[in-house]
């Protein structure tokens, strides 16, 4: 890496959007410059929120050859690869776990490319990340929800896995084609759940792009707020963030709203590109049986089938997704910590967790609703 000049920038405004867009590898909406920009400009991501932009930029002579969006963190909220037990262990020994340096898309547990580059491999940068932390009193770095690194890792860098549940489009022409892969009992249960929504007198409208009005967005944000209030959690994203996304990323947004004949009562917001659908936010003003499954899962599956999308990632966690045809997949993250005495404990933790996740993935696979070759 001696031929490269590595900088860490405190704002996305210091990065040329053309450089970003030229280097990113996919159409994933969470890799888009506008998405990261909207987070910062809406103050959803800021020093005050504990997310200080610290974006890695590699220059080769006078050209930007790599970009990795990163953040200095003073907490572990909004990451979904949980290291609270590590932070607690540090505190018990009167050590500082924070600040830490994190490469992730804030509040978005979606696998995506973290390093944008045409010729630099992420493994080439890992030692430079460690050196940067050592020189700047940063206690660790973390690459979250990234692609699996298959090359040998430098010493003292540890892989972690989690399990998510994704739906895969195996060239279905209709939702019934998909249901026909279920066992009889599971198929009947799904049809019963979907029928119950209409039996409650609910109607559903599906909106994309310019079809989404300001009133629709305001209603969605109300349900988004209610979801967090019910859980006693602080809101991550401001209304202005979603306003900005509707302004400059409308073609990547799907909004589904349920109505009981008198008023709108629930909504689910998704992002999508030409390959995948990503379920992100859900909320309701009133409880209705099976409405969550209809808005967040079944309508998303139908959208994928109608638009020939290959995969649907409905969000993190949720074993209830298994019986609805969402398959367990491993996610990958990579971690380095500065404090040498804790490294062996972290390494053992990661190895044990990996074994647990592999067994958990297998157990979940055994619960899928699909027919076997003998049925």
Distance between CA atoms of 122 and 143, rounded to whole angstroms?
Answer: 10
Indicate whether 368 pLDDT > 90: yes
- pLDDT tier for residue 374 given thresholds of 50, 70 and 90: very low
CATH classification at residue 237: 3.40.630.30
Indicate whether 1 pLDDT > 50: no
Indicate whether 373 pLDDT > 80: no
Residue 232: what pLDDT? 76
Residue 59: what pLDDT? 92
Q: CA–CA distance from 286 to each of 258, 283, 351 (Å)? A: 11, 9, 43
User: Any idea which residue has 């909106």 for tokens?
Assistant: 207
Residue 375: what pLDDT? 53
Residue 197: what pLDDT? 97
Average pLDDT over residues 295-318: 95
Indicate whether 317 pLDDT > 90: no
Residue 25: what pLDDT? 85
- pLDDT tier for residue 315 given thresholds of 50, 70 and 90: confident
Q: Quick check: is 305 in a domain?
A: yes
What tokens appear for 58 in the block? 């590699």
- State the CB neighbour count (10 A cutoff) for residue 261: 8
Indicate whether 2 pLDDT > 60: no
Q: Is 43 exposed, middle or buried (0-12, 13-18, 19+ CB in 10 A)?
A: middle
311 close to 301: Cβ distance less than 8 angstroms: no
One-character DSSP codes across 191-257: HHHHHHHHHTT-EEEEEEGGG--HHHHHHHHHHHHHHHHHHT----S-HHHHHHHHHH-GGGEEEEE
CATH classification at residue 14: 3.40.630
Residue 190 and residue 128 in one domain: no
Indicate whether 233 pLDDT > 80: no
Distance between CA atoms of 245 and 33, rounded to whole angstroms?
Answer: 11
Domain count, the chain: 2
Residue 15 and residue 146 in one domain: yes
Residue 111 and residue 208 in one domain: no
Residue 24 and residue 118 in one domain: yes
Q: Is 153 exposed, middle or buried (0-12, 13-18, 19+ CB in 10 A)?
A: middle
Residue 22 and residue 151 in one domain: yes
Average pLDDT over residues 121-146: 97
- Counting residues of the chain whose pLDDT is more than 90, the rounded percentage is 92
Distance between CA atoms of 285 and 268, rounded to whole angstroms?
Answer: 12
86 close to 98: Cβ distance less than 8 angstroms: no
Residue 159 and residue 302 in one domain: no
Residue 332: what pLDDT? 98
Distance between CA atoms of 37 and 43, rounded to whole angstroms?
Answer: 10
Average pLDDT over residues 341-361: 97
Indicate whether 40 pLDDT > 50: yes
Residue 152 and residue 194 in one domain: no
* 59-114 pLDDT, tens digit each: 987 799 999 999 999 999 999 999 999 999 999 999 999 999 999 999 999 999 99
Distance between CA atoms of 305 and 360, rounded to whole angstroms?
Answer: 29
pTM above 0.75, yes or no: yes
Q: 204 is in which domain, residue-wise?
A: 170-309
Question: What is the average pLDDT value for the chain, to the nearest integer?
Answer: 95
- Counting residues of the chain whose pLDDT is more than 70, the rounded percentage is 98
Q: Quick check: is 323 in a domain?
A: no
Residue 178 and residue 148 in one domain: no
Residue 22 and residue 156 in one domain: yes
* 236-284 pLDDT, tens digit each: 999 999 999 999 999 999 999 999 999 999 999 999 999 999 999 999 9
Q: Quick check: is 68 in a domain?
A: yes
Residue 136 and residue 232 in one domain: no
Residue 61: what pLDDT? 78
């Amino acid at each position: 890496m001696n031929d490269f000049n590595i900088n860490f920038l405190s704002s996305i405004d210091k990065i040329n959007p053309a450089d970003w867009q030229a280097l990113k590898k996919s159409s994933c909406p969470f890799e888009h410059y506008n998405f990261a920009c909207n987070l910062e400009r809406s103050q959803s991501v800021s020093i005050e929120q504990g997310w200080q932009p610290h974006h890695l930029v590699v220059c080769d002579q006078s050209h930007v050859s790599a970009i990795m969006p990163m953040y200095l963190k003073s907490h572990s909220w909004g990451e979904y690869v949980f290291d609270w037990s590590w932070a607690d262990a540090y505190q018990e020994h009167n050590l500082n776990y924070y600040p830490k340096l994190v490469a992730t898309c804030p509040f978005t547990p979606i696998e995506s490319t973290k390093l944008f580059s045409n010729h630099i491999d992420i493994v080439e940068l890992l030692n430079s990340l460690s050196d940067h932390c050592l020189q700047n009193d940063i206690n660790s770095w973390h690459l979250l929800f990234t692609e699996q690194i298959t090359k040998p890792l430098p010493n003292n860098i540890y892989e972690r896995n989690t399990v998510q549940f994704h739906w895969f489009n195996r060239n279905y022409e209709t939702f019934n084609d998909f249901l026909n892969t279920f066992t009889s009992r599971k198929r009947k249960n799904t049809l019963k759940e979907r029928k119950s929504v209409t039996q409650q007198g609910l109607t559903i409208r599906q909106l994309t792009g310019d079809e989404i009005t300001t009133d629709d967005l305001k209603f969605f944000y109300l349900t988004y707020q209610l979801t967090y209030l019910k859980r006693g959690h602080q809101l991550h994203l401001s209304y202005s963030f979603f306003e900005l996304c509707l302004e400059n990323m409308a073609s990547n947004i799907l909004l589904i709203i349920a109505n009981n004949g008198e008023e709108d009562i629930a909504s689910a917001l998704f992002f999508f590109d030409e390959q995948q659908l990503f379920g992100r936010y859900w909320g309701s003003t009133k409880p209705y049986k099976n409405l969550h499954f209809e808005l967040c899962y079944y309508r998303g599956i139908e959208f994928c089938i109608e638009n020939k999308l290959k995969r649907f990632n409905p969000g993190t966690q949720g074993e209830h997704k298994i019986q609805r045809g969402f398959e367990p997949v491993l996610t990958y993250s990579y971690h380095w910590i500065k404090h040498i005495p804790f490294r062996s404990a972290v390494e053992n933790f990661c190895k044990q967790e990996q074994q647990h996740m592999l067994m958990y993935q297998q157990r979940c696979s055994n619960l899928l609703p699909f027919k076997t070759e003998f049925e």
